[in-house]
Amino acid sequence: MPYLPQSEKAVNSFTISRKINDNGGMTRIFMPKYGIINERRHQLHEVIRLSGMNMIINDLYLPLIIKVASIPKERMQVYFIDNEEYFKRKDLLLDKNLKLLKDNDERMIFFTKGVIETVKKLNWVPDIIHLHGWFSSLFPIYLKKLFSDDNIFDNSKIVSSVYSKSFNGSLSKKISEKMEFDGIEGDLEIISDPNFETLTDLMIKFSDSIILSSEKIDTSTMSSIKKYSKDTLSYKDSSDEKKLINFLLQNIN
C-alpha cells in the first residue's frame, strides 16, 4: 500500500516498515513496478544513476530500470524494479482466469537479482532483509549462494513473512535450469515441481527466521518451519508492535 490493491502482503509491507521507522530504524522498500501502478499519480521517477544495468535471464540481456517514490506523509522510499518485458502488463501474478502467468519464474529471478544489484549500487548495508510472500522466495538462496562473496551482505539477516496459500498449480519447471544458468547449484531438487508449497519450503530453508503473517498457515509451511528449526514469530505476536520490533532486533548481530 498505497501502490497496490489492499491485501495482507500490501498492508504488512507498509505497516511493518512504518513501525520500524517509528522505532528509529531506516527502511527502504523494493517492489516490482507492475503495470497497474499509476506513475503520475504516485510521482514515480527514474533513478538514472541506478538504472542501465542489464540482468541476464536465461541467456537474455534485459535492461533493469529503477524508479523511486516516497510514501506520502511517511519517511519511506520505495524503489520499483522495472522492465518492460516483465512488468508492463497490468496483471500482477495471475491472469484474468486466475492462472499463473507463464513467465512468473523469470519475473521472480529478474526481481530478485534486480533488488540485490540495486542495493549493492546504493552501497547500503541492510541489517535485515524482510521478504513478503512466495514471489520473493528465490531471494534467500540467491543471496546465500550467488552473492555470498559480496561483503555488503555479510551481516544481513533474512526474515521471511509467510502467508496462507495464494495459488494453485505450478510455475515453469524450467525454473531450475534458469537458476543453474546463474550459477545456483544444489538444493534445486526442492523445486522440481515449483508450486506454492515447494517455493515456500525453499524460502524457509535459506531464511534466518520466519514471521507468520496470515492467521491460517498451511500445514506444509508449518512442517517446513519445524523441519529447518527456524525461529518463528506467531501471527498473534506479529501484530504486537513491541514483540515484532524485539523479534527483528534479535536478528541483528
Question: Per this entry, what is the length of the chain?
Answer: 253
Assess contact for 220 and 204: CB atoms under 8 A: no
pLDDT in tens, 48-64: 999 989 999 988 999 99
Give the residue ranges of the chain where pLDDT is below 70. 253
pLDDT in tens, 131-188: 999 999 999 999 999 888 888 999 999 999 999 999 999 999 999 999 999 999 999 9
Taking the whole predicted model, whether its pTM rises above 0.85 is answered as: yes
Strands (E), 100-143: 128-132
Q: Cis bond leading into 72, ω under 30°?
A: no
Q: What's the CA gap between 58 and 106, in Å, rounded?
A: 8
- The residues near 86 (Cβ < 8 Å, ≥ 6 apart) are 32, 62, 103, 106, 107, 110
Strands (E), 2-140: 28-32, 45-46, 54-57, 60-63, 65-70, 77-82, 128-132
Domains of the chain: residue spans and CATH: 8-26+92-250 (3.40.50.2000)
